[in-house]
Amino acid sequence: MSQQPYKQPPITEAVIEIRFAAPIDAPRLAEISSDLRAQYPYEQQVTDLRVQLYFVPQATPTAGTIERPGHRLSSLDQTQILLLWPENFIVSQLAPYPGWDEFFERFRRDWSKWKRLIGYQTISRIGVRYINRIDIPFSGPLVEYEQYINVYPHLPEVFTNVRGYGVQAQVQLADMDCILTLNSLSVPSPLLGHAAFIVDLDIANEVKPPQNDESLYELLNRIRLKKNEIFESCITPRARELFKPWQD
């Protein structure tokens, strides 16, 4: 078993997403959702509404909407979530994060049930996303984010009173055929006397996603290790002190 390095990891949400090449029709998706409710006592029907604009030369632009019905299943404490969309199978864990072993085992359980019910579907994307919120105690009007994080904007010296920031980067991880999308931004903290920033890591394979379980599980575990490596490179020793490393 793998032990997470921190007593109080700053993870607010962990997500494993499987995306399919072809959608499942709404009635069939509703049947599957009902069959998967054994571990999730709460079910909520949800709708993803998307607006599309259509541009035609020398004509007034027109707009259209697309509605995707889905199902949100959750545990009694609302921290364990299973989202079923026509093209997506998503397992989510809200804080407190129990560790990779427990989270991954729940994914395997739900994925096995899903496959027994729906059969084989071509996978078009495999993604793992971790959203971390790091709360920093402060007493003044400004927070020196660079004391805690290594990803922040580089600005000219004329900008001396920066009160917030947002940075996004996409990086190719060639050894895994994956793309990392990194978002770092300042946000309000729910804790009094604190500021906060987000380190949002999304690692996805859309080029050659594995189609069998053994390769899928192997990739997810590799992504998890890479995610840990990247997160550690994004923060400073001063930030680590906030999470209480186990070796202390």
Domain positions in the chain are 11-22+87-243, 23-75
Asked whether residue 247 carries a pLDDT value surpassing 60, the answer given is no
Dist CA 232 CA 229 (whole Å): 5
Q: Identify the CA nearest to 186 among candidates 196, 177, 194, 176.
A: 196
pLDDT tens for each residue of 179-213: 999 999 999 999 988 889 999 999 999 999 999 99
Asked whether residue 55 carries a pLDDT value surpassing 70, the answer given is no
| pLDDT band per the 50, 70, 90 thresholds, residue 67 | confident
Longest Cα–Cα distance in the chain: 68
**26-35 helix and 100-118 helix, angle to the nearest 10 degrees:** 130
pLDDT tens for each residue of 89-136: 999 999 999 999 999 999 999 999 999 999 999 999 999 999 999 998
CB 180 within 8 A of CB 171: yes
The DSSP-derived string for 39-59 is: G--EEEEEEEEEEEEE--TTS
Say what the pLDDT of residue 51 is.
54
Spatial neighbors of 237 by CB under 8 A, at least 6 apart, are none
pLDDT tens for each residue of 155-185: 777 776 767 788 999 999 999 999 999 999 9
Question: Half-sphere exposure of 2 toward its Cβ, with a 13 Å CA cutoff?
Answer: 14
Say what the pLDDT of residue 155 is.
73
Q: Between 242 and 126, name the one with better pLDDT.
A: 126
Q: Between 214 and 52, name the one with better pLDDT.
A: 214
